[in-house]
Amino acid sequence: MYIRAILTAVRASRKNKWGVFSSECWTLINLAFRYGAFTQHIGAISSSNEGTTKTALDFRKKIECVLTSPLIVSRCPQVQFAIEVVENDSFNAFASKLSGERETYVIGLFTGTIQRLLEVTAEPTFIQIIRKHIPQLSAISDAELSLTSFYFCASFVAYHEVGHVVRGHLNFRHRTTGQLGWIENDNPVLLINSQARSSHITECDADNFAGRLLLGTAVECSKLSRDMGLCGTPQQYKSTTQGFRELSCACAGLIFLLFDTEPHCAGDHYPIAPIRLAIALGMFADQLVTEGEKEKLALATALSGLVISQSIANQMGWPRQEIDLASEFSDWQSRFLPEIRSATKTFHKFAPCNQ
């Protein structure tokens, strides 16, 4: 197992033109030891998970295309990303800085996350609820709707990790704690108060970043549907765009609700799902207004998407913890809201990008 982890880490380094004796290579080896080998650097795929692996690698390729796009490169010319699919059954992901001297990073997506999201979005109940609430996507087949929903869910996870890089969270953590990595769903009990506090703020900030990028992905899906002849008139295109936007909001909400199946409180490094959904509602609506949507419609679109996610969680019987929401929200608001509002100013000087 350790030999395989080393081989995949070395191959990942060579692919990105990092030398075997570079800090990038040694950090990748350490991460592979800790979390699992990197799937995409092994030629043989077992028949038991062949579909999941192929979908994961296809998704990885799409995220790589986004991160090497001219817009990202122009804004972050000194940043180099490695995107890795990690052989680990947990529902999790991580981002890590690879060098203390250079802006080199890795985003790790666990195969357990890919598998869980594929299972959820393939459920007949999931498709039925989406069909009921988003009739604008009726021209899309069930298979296409399922796969698109998976990509939206997985993209939110990936963009959240990218947000830790682009927003300067990893540089901030390295400067203040000496740690290079940041794995989601880590045990907040192991963090001292100041670390738990900064972790909570950065998680909310990364959610904000991921949601804004995800809405851009929804517009790209609308353009693709138009190119395929699925929405020929301007009105059909507008309706399809709104449908994809609602779907993207619903998929982001599902990620919050999936993480919320594990007991925690508003003071942990993640707020509880209702609070994250409330934050996301305002963020989605704000981004839609920025893109030219009228405020009332923007809020309705975001709210519809998040209501859909809650309906899916309820219908699928996902566990919910018993909480005093008013008390939790009051505690969260007093402890974290002021710093979340000032997060951009706090992290700006640590951001590795120009914009």
Query: Does some domain include residue 211?
Result: yes
- Domain membership of residue 272 as a residue range: 123-355
Say if residue 190's pLDDT is above 50. Answer: no
Which has more pLDDT, 185 or 157?
A: 157
pLDDT per residue as tens digits for the range 59-115: 999 999 989 888 888 888 999 999 999 999 999 999 999 998 899 999 999 999 999
Q: What pLDDT does residue 227 have? A: 83
Nearest to 250 by CA among 163, 160, 158, 126: 126
Query: Does some domain include residue 188?
Result: yes
Say if residue 185's pLDDT is above 70. Answer: no
Percent of the chain with pLDDT over 90: 50
pLDDT-based confidence at residue 273 (cuts at 50, 70, 90): confident
Which has more pLDDT, 355 or 336?
A: 336
How confident is the prediction for the chain on average, in pLDDT?
Answer: 86
Q: What pLDDT does residue 197 have? A: 62
pLDDT per residue as tens digits for the range 276-286: 888 888 889 99
Query: Does some domain include residue 104?
Result: no
Are the beta carbons of 228 and 144 closer than 8 angstroms?
A: no
Report the DSSP beta bridge partners of residue 107: 83, 95
Are the beta carbons of 257 and 182 closer than 8 angstroms?
A: no
Q: What pLDDT does residue 145 have? A: 95
pLDDT per residue as tens digits for the range 288-321: 998 888 888 899 999 999 999 999 999 999 987 7
Domains in the chain: how many in total?
1
Q: What pLDDT does residue 187 have? A: 42
- DSSP-based helix, strand, coil % in the chain, nearest 5: 70, 5, 25
Query: Does some domain include residue 341?
Result: yes
Query: Does some domain include residue 236?
Result: yes
- pTM here? 0.91
Q: What pLDDT does residue 344 have? A: 76
pLDDT per residue as tens digits for the range 1-45: 678 888 899 999 999 999 989 999 999 999 999 999 998 654 444
Query: Does some domain include residue 252?
Result: yes
Say if residue 175's pLDDT is above 90. Answer: no
Say if residue 324's pLDDT is above 90. Answer: no
Neighbour tally for 119: CB within 10 Å: 12
Query: Does some domain include residue 221?
Result: yes
pLDDT per residue as tens digits for the range 109-147: 999 999 999 999 999 999 999 999 999 999 899 999 999
Rg (CA), the chain: 20
